[in-house]
Amino acid sequence: HQSPAWPFDYTLSWQAAQQSFAVGAAVVVAGIGACVAAVVTIGGALRNRPRLGIAGLGAILASAAAATWLLAVPAYPTTYAAAPVSYTTDSIVRGASLYAQNCSACHGPHGRGDGPAALTLPIMPTDLAAHASGHRVGELFWWIAHGIPGTPMPGFTPRLSDAEIWDLVQFLRAQSDAEAATDLGNHVQPWRFAIVAPDFTFELA
């Protein structure tokens, strides 16, 4: 079935906190402030001091609003869409061919933003190998289909069908996961996105 469209222009994501130490620290401070305010609110209620309780409640709301603002990121109708194309080697191969034809001139053969046309652009293309796995597949679909305002990234609809764009997304996902796998250590890294192996098919002669 078709995934429902996200109706809002923004959503909440830990992405900003993961990419910026300052934002992450600010979110932690807001969380601590909310906890302290909760203690004040409970203390006001237990001591029958309504003004103290109201002040604490106001501080909780202010901390929550601050954290929400810090974690808000742009969203699109397809942000939470699930890929209708399975994550298979067949899809990845199709996506690789489409990437070579439509994307490598700017983003480079390995997605590092070093294609032959990159130096002619006012903004260097994104390093897809490093960053694609940090985004939802629905976000990648939207950017490929509709482009990114304020950047040289064009939209590929209707040049590419939805199915072809999803194949491209699966290829970018595999390419970025392969890049991430080269940096894996011998210990648990809870902040990293999970790396999932694609499904594959084979025939017996």
pLDDT at residue number 148 = 93
Residue 79 phi, psi (nearest 5): -50, -45
pLDDT at residue number 196 = 65
- Quote the tokens at residue 179: 């890049």
DSSP symbols for 20-38 = -HHHHHHHHHHHHHHHHHH
What is the widest separation between alpha-carbon atoms in the chain?
81
Q: What is the CATH number of domain 89-181?
A: 1.10.760.10
pLDDT at residue number 191 = 47
Element (H, E) at 80: none
Q: Please give the chain's pLDDT, 205 residues, in tens.
A: 456 788 888 888 777 776 678 878 888 888 888 888 888 888 888 888 888 888 888 888 888 888 888 888 888 999 999 888 888 889 999 999 999 999 999 999 999 999 999 999 999 998 988 888 788 899 999 999 999 999 999 999 999 999 999 999 999 999 887 776 666 555 555 545 555 667 666 666 6
Cross-strand partners of 74: 10
* Three-state DSSP state, 11: strand
Q: How far apart, in whole angstroms, are the C-alpha atoms of residue 126 and residue 115?
A: 11
pLDDT at residue number 164 = 96
pLDDT at residue number 73 = 84
